Amino acid sequence: MLDLIALTQKLVSIPSPTGSEKEICDYIEGWLRSELPGVPFSRTKDSLIVCPFHEEGRPTVGLFGHIDTVPASPTQPQKIEGGKLYGCGSSDMKSGDAVIMALLKDYEKLNANLVAVFYAGEEGPDEGNALRTMIDTLPPMDFAVVLEPTNNNIMAGCMGGMHAIVTFEGKRAHSARPWQGQNAIYRSLSFLAKLRDLPRREVNVSGLTFYEVLSPTMASTKNAANVIPDAFDINVNIRYAPNHTDAEMLEYLNKLVGETAKVKVRDVAIPGKVCIGHPLMQNWIDRCELKVEPKQAWTDLARLTAHGIPAVNFGPGDPDRCHQALEWTEVDNLQKCYKLLYVFLSEVCRDTSFTEADLEVLN
């Protein structure tokens, strides 16, 4: 088996903040040419799709890993110490990328056809996410695994997200004579109090509990510092469960706002479907006694399930270490993740049969 620790260290040693993925993509392409000569792959800018030779009668499984990171903290070390591998991207998600590469190396031993996707731009704005433009070029798949950090637990589905600007209006005046105006900031106080006191909403989807929350995350006026503002904008971030829609959440927000302000949606990220009822997943969960949790955040799983590809999040990184100034991943998690996915791709994919009717579990 490939030396996962050394490979993860190598990937972590290559800086790849969003927008600067060329060097790491060059490295992975060079590795493919050296370690898997003749295996077909394609490159679009700084993203790769790898398709080892397919055999009829076997399920096709996609393995997805983004190769960019957030900018590294200046205090971030790169070392192995105390059973932990330190470095920016070690958890999110270069350890997952290394596991994908190890499984590609062993593809001839597997009982599934692989499609491996290494893509740029996940940590930045949505318009720069390479998977967004690559999704229509992917070959058909029966299932997909997104190797985001999950501590080797299955994290099913993912939350939807919405950003909406709530604008409170007032009357402009000189700040030395505020009684001549109406401060738009004060008009927002009752709404902010509602958000402060609003409990998280528990939503059960396929036996998993997701928590819907609304949070004010940014606030601004557009006036000079000595002017009573006639408009006050609050960015409200809504996180909602896989069985709800953006239209439902917008209606919910409008009811909270009432007639006191105007609401304008900035952007929406749809939730990802919960796919643990799929026969491949259920057999893997049972065979390996895997822990299943809801994904209380957004991942590109949502993009895949919206495209008709059942998927789960499953990777060796620690979600609690993502984007931290001191990022690390457990060394033992690397080997464990590889072994669990190897069982899935070699044993579960060999022993599980399913029909198109079974895919109705994606309700």
Q: For 135, how many CA atoms within 13 A lie in the half-sphere containing its CB?
A: 15
Q: How far apart are CA 133 and CA 127, in angstroms?
A: 9
Instruction: Please give the Cα distance from 245 to 242 (Å, whole number).
Output: 8
Phi, psi for residue 155 in degrees, rounded to 5: -110, 110
As beta bridge partners, residue 126 has: none
Answer for the pair 157, 295: CB distance below 8 angstroms, yes or no: yes
DSSP 159: -
Is residue 65 within 8 A of residue 147, CB to CB? The reply is yes
> Cα torsion at 152, 155, 156, 160 (round to 10°)?
-150
Do you find a cis peptide bond into 141, omega within 30 degrees of 0?
A: no
Query: What is the distance between the alpha carbons of residues 104 and 115, in angstroms, rounded to a whole number?
Result: 9
Provide the phi-psi class of 201: left if phi over 0, else alpha when psi is between -120 and 50, else beta. beta
Among candidate residues 21, 46, 68, 97, the one labeled active-site is 68
Active site residue: 21, 46, 97, 122, which one?
Answer: 122
245 three-class SS: coil
As a 3-state breakdown, the chain gives helix, strand, coil percent values, each rounded to 5, of 35, 30, 35
* Rg (the chain; Cα; Å): 23
Nearest of 92, 86, 97, 90 to residue 63 by alpha carbon: 97
Please indicate whether residue 68 is annotated as part of the active site.
yes
Residues 34, 27: Cα–Cα separation, whole Å: 10
122 assigned to active site: yes
Strands 231-240 and 208-220: what pairing?
antiparallel
> Could you give the residue numbers annotated as active site?
68, 122
